[in-house]
Structure 1
Amino acid sequence: MPSHAGTPGLPLLEKAARILSAFEGRRSTLTLTDVVRHTGLSQTTVHRVMDQLVQIGWLGKDGRRYYLGLGLLELGAFASHHNRLRRAALPHLIALHQATGQWAHLSVLDHGEVLYLEQIGDPRHSTMPYQVGARLPAHCTAAGKALLAFGDTAVVQDLAGDLAPRTRRTLTSGDSLHSELAAVRAEGVAYDRQECFSGVTCVAAPLRGSGRALAAISLSRAGEHADLKRMAHQVAHCARATWASLFDSSRRFEEARREAAGPAPEGDTATVLSWLRFHEWD
């Protein structure tokens, strides 16, 4: 059992992490006493923190027993989803960078912003004004346009009413954005002609089958005279190759899951957690 020494001074996040770790393995439901025994924290602290975790949906409660809540499971699935995307895309991003010498990116759409999950480039030759983990407005980035064009129309409608300019070339009217997205759907690629950063151009292609875009592959370079049309062909090819890798990985994962675990009982928290850990595809 963990020692109680020094626990009063622990940060709140570390206390919460200790409490959540108590539910590892097959301990799908625990009492307050169980969690106190596992963490070494005081009963008062555990009760207070667990109540807060219940309120935000990271824990659930049934009588005197606690269990991992759907909010935490959704968060884990979201992280796992991004991890699979990155693993599938990484070799193709590296190949795209090597073939072009430019910066290759993988990104997803999150609440009207582009979130960059991966970035491959050579900082000795050029730099980008953003890094992995950065968020940029979707309406003025090539990746954002690719995702909006093949995404939820409600998101586009929300954005169209408030298009903040970042450079003198940024699209700032709803009509211009809708026209641009129509062109993206027709051509299958999107462009950023110094609309987000002065001196940086970009081309992107959606990662998708016949439905909505799951992510976007993009290629960026500094300078006004980038051959965007030639780059567009290479980016589209990279997106298709990444999609094929992701689809093949998904098929292999589902086959392995069925063979290893069989059908998961509905509502079984321990089984769902096991599935999420397996879903990391180590």
Structure 2
Amino acid sequence: MTSSERDTRTAVDKALALLTAFGTDAAVGVGVSELARRAELSKSTAFRLLGTLERNGAVERAGTNYRLGPMLHELAAPVTMPETDLVRDTFTPFLAHLYERTRQTVHLAVLDGPNVVYLNKLHGLQHVPAPSRIGGRIPAYCTAVGKAMMAFNPALTEQVLASELAPWTPRTVTTPEALQRELARVRAEGVAFDREEIRMGLVCVAAPIMSPTGAPVAAMSVSGPTTNYDPRSMAPALRAVCGEASKAYAARLRALRRHS
């Protein structure tokens, strides 16, 4: 649309154009200027409409960018698959045990392409606002749970390294080289860290739960405020609980095969 042409679209048309403009970047996030360009809107109009969409849960802030919000995720949520039920039912008792050992906020997540999906979350006594929510999706590269699983998934790692690593905070790892180094440390140490990479003031440690074949099935994490929480102190408890969860998952699979 040229500057001389009058935009005759209704406000609803323009809002839908903005939502469509996210495209494949819906989970990573897109800046206002880029969304305005894609939707053929002025930046001021895009900013105003995004504010309305944010108040209604259709979009949410992702650092300096916007991404699709919880309302649209809930509308588009797929029917729960039996495998997801198996993972959640098997690991939730271990998540509760991890909470009892740490008294911090704990998460259970799985991979969905280049994103993590949170299956369960228990809030700690020191609650810190976080973008994670049950059923929510966040790019794997800027979360501890995501890095814990990516480190043992070469195909996904290659896919993520070839894509844009948008910054959610000033501390987000945004270069392929730095992310590769982090994933190598995860493989060596068995735990991954998020050091204010998804939200300033929030740090997290995570470990993978492995299948009998050595592939990551899920991950658990322990998060807390930077003011009085050292994520490294939770690494031993996390490794122990995730190790027990891996054994329980293998036993559950053996039982299912016997009765199938």
Using the size of structure 1 for normalisation, the TM-score is: 0.60
Deviates more, 1:83-92 or 1:203-212: 203-212
Task: Tell me which residue corresponds to 2:159.
Answer: 158
Say if 2:206 is the partner of 1:213.
no
Say if 2:246 is the partner of 1:243.
yes
What are the Cα deviations for residues 215-246 of structure 1, in whole angstroms up to 9, with x where unaligned? Answer: 11111112244222221111111111111111
- Structure 1: tracts of 5 or more residues without a match: 1-74, 258-282
What are the Cα deviations for residues 112-137 of structure 1, in whole angstroms up to 9, with x where unaligned? Answer: 11110111224x64144221011111
- SS of equivalent to 1:165: coil
Which amino acid is 2:249 matched to?
L
- For residues 232 and 213 of structure 2, the distance between their equivalents in structure 1, rounded to whole angstroms, comes to 23
Cα deviation for residue 210 of structure 1 reads 5.0
What are the Cα deviations for residues 154-185 of structure 1, in whole angstroms up to 9, with x where unaligned? Answer: 32222223100011111010100111101110
Match of 1:232 among 227, 232, 235: 235
**Is the Cα contact below 8 Å between 1:164 and 1:172 reproduced in 2?**
yes
Q: How does 1:34-73 map to 2 (within 5 A)?
A: none
Decide which structure has the larger Cα Rg and report it: 1
Query: Structure 1 residues 104, 166: closer, same or farther in 2, change over 3 A?
Result: same
Cα deviation for residue 251 of structure 1 reads 1.3
- For residues 182 and 137 of structure 1, the distance between their equivalents in structure 2, rounded to whole angstroms, comes to 19
Query: Structure 1 residues 165, 186: closer, same or farther in 2, change over 3 A?
Result: same
- For residues 252 and 213 of structure 2, the distance between their equivalents in structure 1, rounded to whole angstroms, comes to 18
- For residues 98 and 146 of structure 1, the distance between their equivalents in structure 2, rounded to whole angstroms, comes to 22
- For residues 186 and 241 of structure 1, the distance between their equivalents in structure 2, rounded to whole angstroms, comes to 19
**Is the Cα contact below 8 Å between 1:201 and 1:224 reproduced in 2?**
no
Match of 2:99 among 97, 100, 105: 97
Match of 2:81 among 79, 82, 102: 79
- For residues 194 and 126 of structure 2, the distance between their equivalents in structure 1, rounded to whole angstroms, comes to 21
**Is the Cα contact below 8 Å between 2:106 and 2:220 reproduced in 1?**
yes
Say if 2:216 is the partner of 1:194.
no
Match of 1:223 among 217, 222, 226: 226
Task: Tell me which residue corresponds to 1:135.
Answer: 137
Which amino acid is 2:158 matched to?
Q
**Is the Cα contact below 8 Å between 2:222 and 2:231 reproduced in 1?**
no
- Structure 2: tracts of 5 or more residues without a match: 1-77
Task: Tell me which residue corresponds to 1:174.
Answer: 176
**Is the Cα contact below 8 Å between 1:167 and 1:195 reproduced in 2?**
yes
- For residues 202 and 241 of structure 2, the distance between their equivalents in structure 1, rounded to whole angstroms, comes to 21
**Is the Cα contact below 8 Å between 2:223 and 2:231 reproduced in 1?**
no
Which amino acid is 1:106 matched to?
L
- For residues 211 and 92 of structure 1, the distance between their equivalents in structure 2, rounded to whole angstroms, comes to 19
Using the size of structure 2 for normalisation, the TM-score is: 0.65
- SS of equivalent to 2:107: strand
Task: Tell me which residue corresponds to 1:21.
Answer: none
Match of 2:257 among 229, 254, 263: 254
Which amino acid is 1:164 matched to?
A
Which amino acid is 1:197 matched to?
R
Aligned CA RMSD, in angstroms, stands at: 1.7
Q: How does 1:24-39 map to 2 (within 5 A)?
A: none
